[in-house]
Structure 1
């Protein structure tokens, strides 16, 4: 009754509450998907390229000692280093090489420990980073199968594209330095390493041409001698064996062995490689990545202690203040790209859903005004959504937005129940004020039943603390909080707005 006696004050207070709640948005933050505590840790280290596997093994044994000492919640672990001819490691997003080591740590169940996997990961990151010789360190908490589904990369992946590798790498170092100054960014790395030791064979094309040799012939000879060549296949008892030819191990150890490789001339004679080429040790990139016919370098990082969207926004601001080399393109990849794309799609679906619901109600009510009154309650559901996420310590993620889209139909349904009954009472001859009061009293129970049953259904998601609950708890908070406030709005704001509109029409 008080809201009907002072309709303008009621609407003003509701609008002020909505505006003040929107101020919480920067404090909540955004991310693609909530990070789960899967009771699993992954440690990946990179030493200087060319490091012998024995040295990498020594470092990994130190890491194993640190884990066993600092993690009493340890259930099982494995450690490996080096590379294999046939391995599924790359399918799980892992690199391989004599300088790379991996460790997988399985923790006891979440209910049996007092620390989260993120807290343990932060502790290990500090302890392991003090080991001399480690150039890159990654301590992740993502389950192996989740890494396959999500692409195996880090949360933040900034793609720098251009044609000049040296210019790209110089700019990538600047971006990396800026990212190191941003709170929440950890495990920062660049996926381009120009320091791999390699043997450069520079062919004197003029001298080789005089002897009748081509670059392809010289390259094929070197490959056959030092890598090998499948000469034939051997069949025995139904099994097939490859005959692989190359020099013996003692004949392919030093630069001298390469320089003294005999090259067969067209007339059958032989000439040593050193007579037609210069052999020297140099350095070059481990791998060169390309995208859209351009060379690409990625600056990557994980996020700890802050929402991913906030860290990405800070880096965007830092990039806007940096001088970008001409011809260099910058774009987001990884989870940031997927987050922004998913948010755009869901916001479009939200708007489309609102329009379609309005059109359906307009056809059913045979009025443009009454559906508008019902739809006007939709913005106020964000009061409960933002408050519940803020109080619950959750972020606005893909899961949260799915909950917002779900709420549109629920909120509208409550409004339809109330407004439709008010229209029925007015058709029976009651005045606007009396119809609103009677309709509010008689439709209070159906509206509350609808809201309470739905809120009760998602309440277990709100209070859940088990393993994997981090993924669905924001959905429960969104639906519970949004439905709570939207129900109050339906019972107070919608009748008040209905009364004001009808009063103006008269």
Structure 2
């Protein structure tokens, strides 16, 4: 791995996550001190009491990063290092929390804290009393939070289906790329003249300060292609967006005659074809028919205000000379076809006439015409061929030269002839919506036997959208199995995981309210949220199970656990929220993508904390009765062992 956008993004997220384990350990140590234990005893007892919860939360968070590598398409390859960095950070933080934090609390902590309750006027004391009143209300009336949660989840499903989808959000990276494509066969001087015209049309924007620099690169990607890079002033020096500036210069550049100028931005992931809008190809058995269908479909899409510029990338623009041989006349004159091809090759370029062997070396002997090269089609017609009778006749007597344009490239997709089409999107248009418009318009524009296939970002989006649900399910199953193995109970694991769907629904609402979309970054945030939400539930359920082992009833155990774990749950939630806040408030290149992840974590975890504090106690009260405390199982085992009779050897 290297220091890149994804690893830096993981480090920003880790800032809020790595302190969670230390918060839980130190809070428990301070609680023991408040009960009168010395600093050494509090460090030992506090760390020992919380070790299972820390290990469980760490294993859960580390396990949830596994499905990130299995995201379909390019997303899995891109974000595997993101998951690895976060998993390694969390594993290291748990080791530090269980070893270094207790030692430092002994070294720098007070010997003992007086056993005193918090001041009645303190915020935490008031929050604790308010939480206890609400908690007792929902525990005594479990149907209320259950119905409210189900309604919230149903609304989340509706909101999820209405979310637009795309690979990455429209990013403002401070520069725009203009691809200038000249006609096939055009000279470099012609292309250079058109590039200078592009620069002239951009000069007023540079003079006014709307554009900072204009850089041109001619001849890149072919002799008839050029790139013009427009850099914008710093974000603090302008009050307009990159998309606004792109919409302003597109009409000025697209009207340049003789060339095709397409303006696009980039993306933070460096995806090939990124920022070019909707790319697809019309498939058929004949290029001419496919080209006609592509023109018809492009015209239909151009009527939709979602698209700014729709252009088929298939034109008969490359000049070519074809030699149409009259085989019957050539046969009568005794001129073989090979003689015609050999003469054309020798006079226009060269051909290999023989091989010369000198020892172990083989030297090719080429024949080429002397003098000036052929630069006029009439010169080809005046080439002389030798007949079987020894006479010489011009090529025009047995063949005719036909000049006809051909396509510059012949594309194939899915083993069929393809005509690519590029459709730029206006500001605010989503790639997922554009794909739906294409699928609706294609049947009316295409003849039977024709079809369309997605290319570029659209293809990646289609591949990832179809498997996103499976990835979420895979992540949930992994976390459930890890929790069940640690708690040795599927009931406890199910209680913890029950809050996950409601937290995901909260994240969906956060995406919708922020005007976001379902993209690579928000998908990673949703997968990450599964592990983060389970973390708070572990703190409560693990402590409630201990209280049941000590003989408390289910209701008494969950009430005591909820009140005891209120402070660490709030503290860890606040630390994670503050860690994700810079992603939302940040600016600069790629800020839109970072905000997509930040809103999922901030909005999802904020609501998920509420569900953890109220829904987890209710589900524990309803489901824990179906499982026995671990202490009762151990007592039953000891009783059976004491009654057993040793078998004779």
Measured against the shorter chain, the TM-score band is 0.7 to 0.9
Q: What SS does the aligned partner of 2:589 have?
A: coil
In structure 2, what is the equivalent of residue 239 of structure 1?
Answer: none
Which of 442, 452, 458 in structure 2 is aligned with 1:319?
442
Alignment map for 1:6-405 (pairs within 5 Å): 6-25=141-160, 28-46=163-181, 49=184, 56-71=191-206, 72-79=209-216, 83=219, 89-90=220-221, 96-97=223-224, 100-134=225-259, 136-142=260-266, 149-151=271-273, 154-215=276-337, 217-227=339-349, 252-263=374-385, 270-305=392-427, 306-320=429-443, 322=444, 324-405=446-527
Q: CA deviation at 1:487?
A: 1.2
Q: Deviation per CA, 1:39-59, whole angstroms, max 9, x where unpaired?
A: 222223445555565555444
Q: Deviation per CA, 1:442-479, whole angstroms, max 9, x where unpaired?
A: 01122222222222212111111112222322112111
Within 1, Cα distance between the matches of 2:340 and 2:170? Answer: 53
Report the more deviating stretch, 436-445 or 121-130.
121-130
Q: What SS does the aligned partner of 2:212 have?
A: strand
Q: 1:265 to 1:122 in 2, by over 3 A?
A: farther
Q: Deviation per CA, 1:310-356, whole angstroms, max 9, x where unpaired?
A: 11112112224x26423323221211111222344554332122112
Within 1, Cα distance between the matches of 2:438 and 2:378? Answer: 49
Report the more deviating stretch, 101-110 or 208-217.
208-217
Report the more deviating stretch, 435-444 or 151-160.
151-160
Within 1, Cα distance between the matches of 2:540 and 2:522? Answer: 27
Within 1, Cα distance between the matches of 2:524 and 2:578? Answer: 18
The answer to whether structure 1 residue 462 and structure 2 residue 597 are counterparts is: no
Contact 2:274 2:456 in 1 (8 A): no
Q: 1:52 to 1:132 in 2, by over 3 A?
A: same
So what's the TM-score if we normalise by structure 1? Answer: 0.85
Q: CA deviation at 1:360?
A: 2.3
Q: 1:495 to 1:44 in 2, by over 3 A?
A: same
The answer to whether structure 1 residue 452 and structure 2 residue 550 are counterparts is: no
Within 1, Cα distance between the matches of 2:244 and 2:419? Answer: 30
Number of residue pairs matched by the alignment: 480
Q: Deviation per CA, 1:226-253, whole angstroms, max 9, x where unpaired?
A: 3566999xxxxxxxxxx9956766x634
Within 2, Cα distance between the matches of 1:9 and 1:146? Answer: 45
Q: CA deviation at 1:125?
A: 0.6
Q: 1:23 to 1:432 in 2, by over 3 A?
A: same
Q: What SS does the aligned partner of 1:183 have?
A: coil
Within 2, Cα distance between the matches of 1:431 and 1:487? Answer: 25
The answer to whether structure 1 residue 435 and structure 2 residue 565 are counterparts is: no
Contact 1:383 1:485 in 2 (8 A): no
Q: 1:279 to 1:70 in 2, by over 3 A?
A: same
Within 2, Cα distance between the matches of 1:444 and 1:217? Answer: 94
Contact 2:580 2:601 in 1 (8 A): yes
In structure 2, what is the equivalent of residue 86 of structure 1?
Answer: none
Bigger Cα Rg? 2
The answer to whether structure 1 residue 424 and structure 2 residue 546 are counterparts is: yes
Within 1, Cα distance between the matches of 2:414 and 2:388? Answer: 41
Q: 1:421 to 1:261 in 2, by over 3 A?
A: same
Within 2, Cα distance between the matches of 1:248 and 1:177? Answer: 51
Q: What SS does the aligned partner of 1:281 have?
A: strand
Contact 2:583 2:595 in 1 (8 A): yes
Structure with greater helix share of residues:
2
Within 1, Cα distance between the matches of 2:476 and 2:398? Answer: 75
Q: What SS does the aligned partner of 1:192 have?
A: coil
Q: CA deviation at 1:223?
A: 4.1
Within 2, Cα distance between the matches of 1:388 and 1:252? Answer: 69
Within 2, Cα distance between the matches of 1:247 and 1:190? Answer: 43
Q: CA deviation at 1:292?
A: 4.5
In structure 1, what is the equivalent of residue 537 of structure 2?
Answer: 415
Q: 1:489 to 1:288 in 2, by over 3 A?
A: same
Q: CA deviation at 1:268?
A: 7.0
Within 2, Cα distance between the matches of 1:225 and 1:314? Answer: 54
Contact 1:77 1:104 in 2 (8 A): yes
Q: 1:212 to 1:356 in 2, by over 3 A?
A: farther
Within 1, Cα distance between the matches of 2:302 and 2:296? Answer: 10
Within 1, Cα distance between the matches of 2:554 and 2:371? Answer: 100
